[in-house]
Amino acid sequence: EDVDPQKTAFLLRKAWTLYSVTPLYRFHRARLRDYARLLSAFIAAEKQKGLAVEVGVELDIKVALSSIADLRGTELDQAALLVQLSSRSRASSRNSEDKLVWSGWFCSMFGDDLSENVPEDFTSLPLFLSHGAESYTSLVGSWFQKTFDCCFRRLAISPLNLSWMVAMWAGCKLDRADSAVELVFSMPRLSQPLDISYAIHPEDAKALWDTVQKTPGEITQEEVDVFMDCLYAHFHRHFKIHLSAAKLVKVSTAVASAHCDGIVKILQSQYLPGVLMLLTELAISQIQ
């Protein structure tokens, strides 16, 4: 289960937009080069049609598809699939380097719930993460949808799930937790939007979680509720505001941060499988 940190360095410290993807029909791992060619041709054709992604700049988009063998939970999971779009300006010389303009990857981390029930000919990679221009995401997404008869949907994260994330991640043991545990709330029903940011020293947050969690390695809804209630009560004591009546929209910890619109940033490779497992679970429940 140990993932090679070099191979996964690309996914740290980037804001990834999350999607759930239904199983891919007749996807063959051996044909990655063919798929890359086809996707590249598709993108060039769409650009010809005038759906230009970059205005005024002549860019050739090069597509690379690769598998990341280590990025999976169990043997039942499919290895992660990485799609990278690079550009090389036609104007510059042959020696110029390719510039990565967009990346997206499909992943299944302990996604047995879905992969077990999927018929033959279908490949289960329920979580998709993209980074880069939305226009490229929709080009790549349309090609995959047409080619493999699958469906992409933005994955939103509810306040309930965000509170799970902050409780889990605040409790992670880190050598150096150098960023605060932060929760951002949006106040409802106001004429002008108002956000409240509640920052807690990471050691205090971890100490609180340690008193709440009964069995190491296991987390229950009750424990998450107690953790959150303590934070709400503390805030109310000082500011007389009931954060529990507001909408939790973003959580940040030294391990990872997540926004309710379905955007995550992973900061530590140490807890990568745990974070991906939680996101895979959310993607699967959106599909089912």
Partner 1 sequence: HLATSLPLPSERDHLRPRIDLVVFMIDIKSKYSLKNVETSLAHVDASFFLGKVCFLVTGVGRVNACSIETNAICKLGEAYCSPVLFCELELEGIRVATAQRLLRMLRICAGHIPGVSALSFVSLMRNSDDD
Contact flag: residue 171 with partner 1 (CB under 8 A): no
Contact flag: residue 232 with partner 1 (CB under 8 A): yes
E strand intervals along 12-161:
15-21, 24-25, 59-68, 80-89, 99-107, 122-123, 127-132, 152-154
Contact flag: residue 245 with partner 1 (CB under 8 A): yes
Beta bridge partners of 68: 80
Binding segment toward partner 1, per CB under 8 A, in 57-65, 140-148, 155-163, 195-203 = 155-163
Binding mask 179-208 toward partner 1 (x if CB under 8 A, else -) reads: ---------x--------------------
Q: Are 8 and 273 in contact (CB under 8 A)?
A: no
Cβ 194 to partner 1, closest distance in Å?
Answer: 16
Which residue's entry shows tokens 């424990």? 223
CB closer to partner 1, 22 vs 163: 163
Residue count at the site for partner 1 (CB under 8 A)?
Answer: 17
Instruction: Reduce the secondary structure of 221-268 to three states and give it as a string.
Output: HHHHHHHHHHHHHHHHHHHCCCHHHCEEEEEECCCEEEECCCEEEECC
Q: Which of 67, 147, 244, 269 binds partner 1 (CB under 8 A)?
A: 244
Given CA atoms 279, 281, 285, 288 in this order, what sign does their dihedral have? positive
Tokens, residue 164: 């799970």
Cβ 163 to partner 1, closest distance in Å?
Answer: 8
Tell me which residues touch partner 1 (CB under 8 A). Answer: 156-160, 163, 188, 221, 228, 232, 242, 244-248, 260
